[in-house]
Structure 1
């Protein structure tokens, strides 16, 4: 989980490992979460399937940045 503070919000990018099998390597679902203080603000749904956990986390953070720009 990758976290940062952006414009007073705490934001997280999450990577959830998808189960792979012998024919396909594991992939990662990405999503984002936003809080302010100790209160939940918003969470994305699954943003896509990514080859690496880092790519999934970056997508979650990018979603959170965009959400704050539109609503914050």
Structure 2
């Protein structure tokens, strides 16, 4: 999980392991969460699937930053 502070909000990028079969390559579902003062502001659904954990986390962070920019 990757996190940062942006314009007074805490934003989180999540990578959720998705492995449909034992021999299938690992994939990661991306999602994002926004909190302020330890309270949930908004959470995304699944934003997409990625081959790398870091890519999924970055997609979640990008979503959260864009949400704040569009609602600020």
Q: Same fold (TM over 0.5)?
A: yes
Instruction: Report deviation, 1:20.
Output: 4.1
Residue 16 (structure 2) aligns with: 16
Please give the root-mean-square deviation of Cα atoms over the aligned residues, in Å: 0.8
Flag structure 1 segments of 5+ consecutive residues without an equivalent. none
Scaled by the length of structure 2, what TM-score is found?
0.94
Aligned length, in residue pairs = 71
Scaled by the length of structure 1, what TM-score is found?
0.94
1:46 equivalenced with 2:46 (yes/no) = yes
Instruction: Report deviation, 1:7.
Output: 0.3
Correspondence 1:1-72 to 2 at 5 A: 1-21=1-21, 22=23, 24-72=24-72
Flag structure 2 segments of 5+ consecutive residues without an equivalent. none
